[in-house]
Structure 1
Amino acid sequence: MSTKLFGIVAATTLLMVCGCTKPSSVSGTVTADGEKVTEGLVLFQPESNSGKKPAAGEIQPDGTYEVRTAGNELLSAGNYKVLFTPPDTLEDETGQAIVVSEWNSWQAEDKLVQVSEGQNKIAIKLEKKPEPPAEEDPADQPAGEETTQPAEPEETEPAEME
């Protein structure tokens, strides 16, 4: 009886140490405002300190993707942050942009997704990037004009009460 118990404990310990879990495949579609995204990359970044490998996949013209790690492996189950990278902007020989992707101003929703063992179909929705705050450029001011600071309020003495 104790030999059987020892075998069960040893097998359980071996499974825990090996981390023997089924690999996880992840695929799905990428949309923005209900429209299929037709180019770019999706990245699955594991939660920090999880020891899992990140994975990436190219978005296909039909809006679908499938991710793999750098070693062309499937993912480990766990929580991942999804990132979106738009395709590169093409430039002419002078450095002027000639093709700018319509997806440059989009990003993946800021949330974690759960990857389970086995097959996972995960729909990714993109959202518009927030507009950066407008900064005043001193070069935009006409020559000779200085930036004015708001005047400090004058100190007044309290009125005498009668």
Structure 2
Amino acid sequence: MESEIVDYESFGAKGDGVTDDLPAICRAHDHANSHGLCVRTKPDATYHLGRRDLTARIATDTDWSTSRFTIDDSTQVENHRGSLFEIISLLEPETITLDRLSCDQRQTAVHPSHDSFVRVEDDSRRLFIRRGLNQNAGVPQSDCFVLRRDGSIEADIDWDYE
């Protein structure tokens, strides 16, 4: 049903590549999230994401088709560390226990109640940047993947986890 599709223009976006469309994009996704509606952009639009410190929270199906996004990352940006988009889930978290994962593993015995985005972390194995100006104390080894209801893994597992 076409009336159940949210578009950015209904919330003030121009899609002309010049006007700052980020406030309208945020409003459109807030509305879609509140009502469980899908978002679809105009295929020929170019959305300009301006300098303001705003984040569009995406929790419903979004089809950007062939739309383009121009990101203003000039020196006048309010917060150069801010995220333009945040993908969130409206589903309740589900605890998933995996005893081990192997590099390139494609299947598990775990069958979640719904397809799930999984992030695994092993704090006993840390990854470091040892040289240069951005050297650090290391971060836990981690991987992200989609675990399907049938137990299949969609993505490459890069490391072994015990």
- The interval holding the TM-score normalised by the smaller chain is under 0.3
With the length of structure 2 as denominator, give the TM-score of the two structures.
0.21
Between Structure 1 and Structure 2, whose CA radius of gyration is higher? Answer: 1
Q: Which has the higher contact order (CA 8 A, sep 6+)?
A: 1
With the length of structure 1 as denominator, give the TM-score of the two structures.
0.21
